[in-house]
Every structure is written in structure tokens, then in C-alpha cells.
């Protein structure tokens, strides 16, 4: 059974209650080099669930991630303990030209819902995101396509990932089912502050929605574990990202050093400081760890400093 004492938050003004820190599982299936060990993944999922980290995030874009979670649900019988989020539409896998473009065509959405349910070995999805906006399909059509699944309980809540404020506003404005659009997932961490500077985070709160921050540890950069692009295995997506280039790495490590100095004062890690800062700065925000890899190294003591009811100010 999960821990009943792990900090929780309500996702949006009238949404479900979830663990304040979630488990992002992209690293289980794809992108970070090497081959994931399924046994280790299963142990990690149990480790998270046992400690109350029950807000899990995956996608049909994350390789074997959905299938691994499905195997865990089947093996443990603990599906009801997990608030499960998955996504559709990042890439149209049915495109014969393999152009790797997003797709939110209604026929594609319906097919991907069934594919995800099958892979996850479940008959419902707690939170279903549009992974990337399809410029050829109006967001109103996307939300209305999901409406029958919301009505029959197959999908409980709807979210958008990497969307504009205008798209978010239009999604919320769809009569009836728009009220179920409860979450916006965007990158937010010490190296990516755009949503705070452009007013997106404030608008999400105004709309009564929850802000779900992905890559709060900046894909592991905040941890201080990596010091150059050479630290990443072949096939690791970070080798291609500007933040991790040979030119930018030294500058970013200066920020990591400052985080570590703060962490040392509190007997914590720089990753724990980053997570606590996000939670304290944005009370309507939930954060996902980079992946199960980062999760294992940061969870046990993060619990102590990430409680949303802490009296410390964001500066502290």
C-alpha cells in the first residue's frame, strides 16, 4: 500500500488530488541511451508507489514505457493506487512518409486511445494529454473528440502539453467537456523559466488549472552528475540539446554550483533544492522528476523538504 503521508496537491481548482512530485517514465522506454533493464524498472515503480509517489506520467511516444507500466499493473494489481497520465499526438506513427509530424486527427486519437489502453493493461486513463499541438486540427475538435471517452469514464481528465495560452483558453472554452481540461504540462526548471516570464504560469492558475512541470531537474543537469557531453552514452538525446553542448556546459555548471551551495547548507542535494523551489514558488504546480533514474537518487530526502505546507518562502 502507498504511504499516506506523502505530500499531495489538488490538480487545479476543482481537480483530483495527486502526489506533489510525480514519476516521469520517459527514461524507462527511450531517449537516454543504453537499454533499460525491465526488472529494475519494475522495482522502481514499486519503490515509488510504496512511498506515495503515485502521479505517474508516460506517453505513446516513450518507446516501451507504456508497456512496462502495463506489466507492473498486471503483476501487482495496484492500478487503482496510481493516478495515471499518458499522451497522444507527438508523432503520427501511421504516416506512410514517416515525416514525424504531430497528429490530432480524430481517427488517430481514437486509435491511439485503444493502443494505450492495451499497452497499459487498463480500461481507463486518469489524465490524457495532447502531447503536441497539431496545427492542422483545431483544439476544439480535439477536445470534442475526447468528450465521449470522458462521458463513459475511459478518460477522467484532459491535459495539454507544450501549448500556447490561446490554445489553452480555447480548449477550456469548449462547452461541457472543457471543464475537464485540468492540466498544462510545460518545462520549468532553473534553466527554463519561460512560462514564468511570459505569464503562462499565472494564466494557468487564473484558469483554475494545474501546472505540471516536466524536466524540473533539467534532464539531470541540476544533479551535478554530468559535467560534459562525454558523460552521455551514444543514443542519449542530451547530446543533441544546446543546453548540454560543450560550449554551454561550463556556464550551466556555474548555476549548478550555486544550487549545490544552497543545498549544502540544508544537508540536501541540488536536485532536492530545485524541486522544493518549484513547489514553493508555484503552489498550483506539480513536478515530475526527469525519469525513474533521477527519481531513485532524489526521492528519499526530497520528501523531507518538498512538503507543500512548508512555511519557508521561495527565497528560503
Which positions are annotated as active-site residues? Answer: 62
CA-based nearest residue to 272, from 241, 303, 229, 235: 303
Judged by DSSP in three states, 172 sits in helix
Burial class (CB in 10 A: 0-12, 13-18, 19+), 203: middle
Question: Is 42 within 8 Å of 75 (Cβ atoms)?
Answer: yes
Residue whose entry in the numeric block shows the C-alpha cell 499541438: 133
Report helix, strand and coil shares of the chain as percent, to nearest 5.
45, 15, 40
- For residues 121 and 69, what is the distance between their CA atoms, to the nearest angstrom? 8
- For residues 217 and 101, what is the distance between their CA atoms, to the nearest angstrom? 27
Amino acid at each position: 500500500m502507498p504511504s499516506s503521508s506523502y505530500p499531495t496537491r489538488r490538480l487545479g481548482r476543482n481537480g483530483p488530488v495527486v502526489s506533489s512530485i510525480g514519476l516521469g517514465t520517459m527514461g524507462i522506454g527511450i531517449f537516454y541511451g543504453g537499454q533499460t533493464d525491465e526488472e529494475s524498472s519494475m522495482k522502481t515503480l514499486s519503490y515509488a508507489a510504496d512511498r506515495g509517489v503515485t502521479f505517474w506520467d508516460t506517453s505513446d511516444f516513450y518507446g516501451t514505457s507504456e508497456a512496462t507500466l502495463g506489466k507492473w499493473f498486471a503483476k501487482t494489481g495496484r492500478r487503482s493506487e496510481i493516478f495515471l497520465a499518458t499522451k497522444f499526438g507527438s508523432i503520427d506513427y501511421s504516416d506512410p512518409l514517416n515525416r514525424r509530424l504531430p497528429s490530432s486527427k480524430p481517427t488517430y486519437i481514437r486509435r491511439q486511445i485503444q493502443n494505450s489502453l492495451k499497452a497499459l493493461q487498463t480500461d481507463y486513463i486518469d489524465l490524457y494529454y495532447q502531447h503536441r499541438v497539431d496545427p492542422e486540427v483545431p483544439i476544439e475538435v480535439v477536445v470534442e473528440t475526447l468528450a465521449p471517452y470522458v462521458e463513459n469514464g475511459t478518460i477522467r481528465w484532459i491535459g495539454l502539453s507544450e501549448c500556447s495560452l490561446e490554445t489553452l483558453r480555447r480548449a477550456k472554452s469548449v462547452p461541457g467537456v472543457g471543464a475537464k481540461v485540468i492540466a498544462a504540462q510545460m518545462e520549468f526548471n532553473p534553466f527554463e523559466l519561460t512560462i514564468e516570464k511570459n505569464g503562462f504560469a499565472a494564466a494557468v492558475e487564473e484558469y483554475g488549472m494545474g501546472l505540471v512541470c516536466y524536466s524540473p531537474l533539467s534532464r539531470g543537469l541540476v544533479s551535478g552528475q554530468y559535467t560534459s557531453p562525454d558523460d552521455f552514452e551514444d543514443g542519449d538525446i542530451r547530446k543533441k540539446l544546446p543546453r548540454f553542448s560543450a560550449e554551454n556546459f561550463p556556464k550551466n555548471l556555474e548555476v549548478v554550483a550555486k544550487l549545490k551551495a544552497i543545498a549544502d547548507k540544508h544537508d540536501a542535494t541540488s536536485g532536492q533544492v530545485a524541486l522544493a523551489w518549484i513547489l514553493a514558488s508555484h503552489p498550483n504546480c506539480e513536478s515530475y522528476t526527469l525519469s525513474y533514474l533521477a527519481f531513485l537518487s532524489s526521492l528519499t530526502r526530497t520528501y523531507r523538504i518538498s512538503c507543500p505546507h512548508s512555511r519557508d518562502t521561495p527565497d528560503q
